[in-house]
Structure 1
C-alpha cells in the first residue's frame, strides 16, 4: 500500500500557496504552506511544489505524471524510515 498517492501529489500541485510543501506527518501526507514548516516538521518534508514543477510542465498534469511522481515520492518516504 503506497504512503504517497496521486491525490497527495495533486493537492500539492494545485495548492494556491506558491510555497506549498508536502509533509509526511503521523502516517499521512499533508500539504502545508511553506511558512508554516517549523523545526518539528522540517525533517518530515517530502517535496516542495516548486521542486515538482520541473517534472510537470504546464498547468495540468496527466494521470501518468501524477502516478510517476507519487511512486517516486512514496520511495522518498520509505527511505526516511516511515
Structure 2
C-alpha cells in the first residue's frame, strides 16, 4: 500500500505556491505553503513543488508518470521512517 499516491502528487503540482511542500504528517500527505511549515514539521517535508517542476519540465503529466513520481516519493517517506 502506497503512503503517497497519484492524487497527493497532483495536489502538490497543482498548488499555485511554487514554494509549497509535500509533508507527511500522521499518516497523511499534506500540501503546505512554506510559511506554514514550522520546525516540528520541517523534518517531515518529502519534496517541494519547485523541485518537482524543475525535474519534470513542461507538458502534461500522464497518470503513469504521476504514479511513478508517487512511488518514488513513497520510498522517500518510508526512508523517513513512516
Give the TM bin, normalised by the shorter chain.
over 0.9
Count of aligned pairs between the two proteins: 82
Moved more, 10-19 or 54-63: 54-63
Structure 2 distance, partners of 1:34, 1:59, is: 25
TM-score by length of 1: 0.93
Structure 2 counterpart of 1:48: 48
Residue number in structure 1 paired with 2:23: 23
Regions of 4+ moved over 4 Å: none
Query: 1:1-82 counterparts in 2 under 5 A?
Result: 1-82=1-82
The root-mean-square deviation of aligned C-alpha atoms, in Å, is: 1.0
Look up the SS of the partner of 1:23 in the other structure: strand
Structure 2 stretches lacking a partner, 5+ long: none
What TM-score comes out, normalization by structure 2 length? 0.93
DSSP 3-state at the match of 1:75: helix
Q: Work out the CA distance in 1 between the residues paired with 2:54 and 2:65.
A: 11
